[in-house]
Amino acid sequence: MMVEETWLPQISLELCTGCGDCVVVCPVDALEVIQGTAVVTNPLACDYCAACETICPTEAIVLPYQIVLDING
């Protein structure tokens, strides 16, 4: 099934170590580690919360087009 015009986390095959942290943290079980690499296996469930991007120790996950306002951080 093609999923179009849906913003999804982009996972770098080169940076991902398959640690599984993103799978654990994802609140909607959108991610799985398959053959050592995280994959968005349930893209329709992803609500773009960015938890996976935040927790990834190797910065392998990027959420494109996300606008981050952290002026109070």
Residues that bind ligand SF4 (CB under 6 A): 9, 11, 16-22, 25-26, 28, 30-31, 33, 38, 40, 46-52, 55-56, 58, 60-61
Total H helices, total E strands in the chain: 2, 4
Cβ atoms 22, 59 nearer than 8 A: no
**Shortest separation between residue 2's beta carbon and ligand SF4, angstroms:** 18
The residue (of 35 and 72) whose beta carbon lies closer to ligand SF4 is 35
**Shortest separation between residue 60's beta carbon and ligand SF4, angstroms:** 4
Single-letter residue type at 67:
I
Residues 6+ apart with CB under 8 A from 69: none
**Shortest separation between residue 66's beta carbon and ligand SF4, angstroms:** 9
